[in-house]
Chain A
Amino acid sequence: MFLINCPYCGERDQSEFVSGGEAHIVRPKQPTELNDDQWAEYLFMRKNIKGIQFERWNHAHGCRKWFNVARDTSNDKIEKIYKIGEQPPKL
């Protein structure tokens, strides 16, 4: 368990949040031109690294807003929190 500093509500317990998986995955502009492997790559394949990972989180039991988190998966330390639409920080 860890604390997450919601950019709208402030610091809250992780149990108030829901993880939305990896961030910054861009939907293909022409999905009909992709083959099955490329479409599966976009839909299902996600990074699972040990280290800093960019993720989407939702404050589901609070303001219900989505935001991005740069989290170190090895120790759950949150390096940076930034709003949806902002560029990922260079860490």
Chain B
Amino acid sequence: MDNINTAIKDIREYSDLNLKEVEPITKINLRGKKREFFTKVGQILSIILPAESNTSTGNQELSALWLSPDEWMVYTNNMNKEIFDRVFKEISSLNYGAVTNVSDQWVCINISGDKLYELLSMSCPFDFSKFKDTKGSTTQTIINHIDVIIHNLGNNNINLFVRRSFSNHLWDWLNDGANLL
């Protein structure tokens, strides 16, 4: 379930930027519209999925990111696999919604530092002016033509999710950009 094989075997530190891959980390994609779907997610994961666009919810162990009106991504560093086994058995197999393990599809890069949004804005069309001041906000956008999901952890600290096959390319681009700042 967890991406034991890391994509980026590197940690970089610059004067105002720090980049590292966060691993191992479990990521589950949830899709559903039925009332039973939301009830089961609440019962099993103890979180309420965010209904408002570009927001997230979470508790001490899990974060749930809004991806679209009927799609969310839940991620955690918790190794408790029983919880996710229950999610699969009690939602997917009963047709209340779709549960997909995307742990190996997405690579999580943590970026922090004062020049974080300067770095992202070098090749991202998204307007970060409101985003950066709102802890817990999320967005899906493109950086250097690469699809990413960004979760704002507050205080110039984000988790950036990128598809594994693009992760090394984006990592190189981020470091090139950081060198120029």
Contacts and interface: CB of A to CB of B under 8 A. Distances in A.
Contact of B69 (A10, A11, A61, A65): A65
Q: For A8, A11, A16, A63, which residue has the most chain B Cβ atoms within 10 angstroms?
A: A63
Nearest to A65: B68
B102 to A, nearest CB: 14
Interface of B: 53-54, 67-69, 71, 125-127, 139-142, 147
Contacts of B53: 8-10, 63
Given A16-B141, A16-B142, A63 B68 contact: yes
A63 B142 contact: no
Q: For A8, A11, A62, A65, which residue has the most chain B Cβ atoms within 10 angstroms?
A: A62
A77 interface: no
Interface of A: 8-13, 15-16, 61-65
A9 B54 contact: yes
A4 to B, nearest CB: 11
A91 B54 CA distance: 31
Nearest to B149: A62
B125 A10 contact: no
Given A9-B53, A16-B141, A63 B69 contact: yes
